[in-house]
């Protein structure tokens, strides 16, 4: 399936969440409704991979890299690589630190890829020139650096990798697929969190998970979001009731939707 073949939903018909509201819905889904976080990550990963396949077309001979933070956003990207590998792509990952720094769910996905002999690079041991060169040789870059729970401007290795990925993708080749939202964008306002020229990812495609973060549908991030897809990852509508969001019919047309103006 191509991007154009995906079912569409008008932006006006999609409820949005703030970062705090999404955190509450995630908590209710896992702690109250008993849905394992591992299941939500696996659902997210498959949707990200499906979006990448719809974007690229035939995966045979395509090389997909992920730039990966140490949290669950990075875990989503790592798990998506596993699906893409199984569907015929070549994959590798550039991780913002050694494996022991990853959060438990992301570490589990890292170890699976390691057993599958996927190349995994600790970017703290590599210089910018090498990273930019390697990323420019890919057909698609997954941005799994930071998710909606980010606070303040990106720092340290995450800030560096945002700049490296941006440099590698200058001019849109290779394109970047952002996981949930482009790294460096405020989830609530859509404004860049850093004043640096390459302080936020400019994605060709953003796959936002569960519901769009409010900032994605504002005017500010239009040059960063690219095409916006909305992915169902299995969070029930009941999880949003406590924050007053009615999400009952969002995915009536399909579980991976193209959000249109």
CATH of 3-260, one of 3.40.50.10260, 3.40.50.620, 3.30.420.40, 3.40.50.1220: 3.40.50.10260
Query: Quick count: other Cβ atoms within 10 Å of Cβ 230?
Result: 25
Task: Provide the β-strand partners of residue 144.
Answer: 68
Nearest residue to 222 via CA among 196, 204, 195, 208: 204
pLDDT exceeds cutoff 80 at 220: no
Could you read off the pLDDT of 37-47 as tens digits, one per residue? 999 999 999 99
Could you read off the pLDDT of 35-75 as tens digits, one per residue? 999 999 999 999 999 999 999 999 999 999 999 999 999 99
Confidence of residue 221 (pLDDT cuts 50, 70, 90): low
pLDDT value, residue 171: 85
Could you read off the pLDDT of 195-205 as tens digits, one per residue? 888 899 999 99
Task: Provide the β-strand partners of residue 68.
Answer: 95, 144
Q: How far is CA 200 from the centre of its chain?
A: 13
Residues in the chain: 261
Task: Provide the β-strand partners of residue 205.
Answer: 177, 227
Where in the chain are the domains?
Answer: 3-260
pTM of the model: 0.97
Could you read off the pLDDT of 116-151 as tens digits, one per residue? 999 999 999 999 999 999 999 999 999 999 999 888
Q: What are phi and psi of 9, to 5 degrees?
A: -135, 130
Average model confidence (pLDDT) for the chain?
A: 96
Q: How far is CA 110 from the centre of its chain?
A: 16
Percent of the chain with pLDDT over 70: 99
- Starting at the edge strand found earlier in the chain, the sheet holding 90-95 runs 8-10, 256-260, 227-231, 205-209, 176-179, 140-144, 63-68, 90-95, 120-122
Q: How far is CA 6 from the centre of its chain?
A: 18
Longest dimension (CA), the chain: 48
């Amino acid at each position: 399936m191509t991007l154009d073949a995906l079912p569409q939903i008008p932006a006006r018909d999609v409820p949005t969440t703030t970062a705090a509201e999404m955190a509450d819905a995630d908590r209710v889904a896992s702690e109250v409704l008993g849905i394992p976080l591992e299941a939500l990550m696996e659902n997210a990963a498959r949707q990200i991979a499906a979006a990448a396949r719809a974007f690229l077309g035939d995966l045979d001979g395509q090389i997909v890299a992920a730039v990966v933070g140490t949290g669950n956003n990075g875990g989503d990207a790592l798990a998506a690589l596993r699906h893409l590998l199984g569907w015929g792509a070549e994959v590798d990952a550039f991780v913002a630190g050694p494996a022991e720094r990853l959060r438990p769910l992301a570490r589990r996905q890292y170890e699976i890829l390691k057993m599958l002999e996927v190349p995994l690079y600790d970017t703290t041991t590599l210089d910018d020139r090498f990273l930019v060169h390697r990323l420019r040789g890919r057909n698609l870059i997954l941005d799994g650096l930071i998710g909606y729970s980010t606070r303040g401007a990106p720092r340290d290795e995450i800030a560096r990798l945002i700049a490296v990925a941006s440099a590698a993708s200058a001019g849109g080749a290779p394109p970047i697929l952002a996981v949930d939202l482009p790294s460096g964008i405020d989830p609530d306002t859509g404004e860049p969190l850093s004043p640096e020229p390459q302080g936020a990812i400019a994605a060709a495609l953003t796959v936002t998970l569960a519901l769009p973060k409010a900032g994605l549908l504002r005017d500010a991030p239009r040059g960063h979001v690219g095409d916006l897809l909305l992915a169902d990852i299995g969070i029930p509508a009941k999880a949003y009731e406590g924050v007053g969001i009615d999400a009952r019919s969002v995915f009536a047309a399909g579980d991976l939707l193209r959000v249109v103006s």
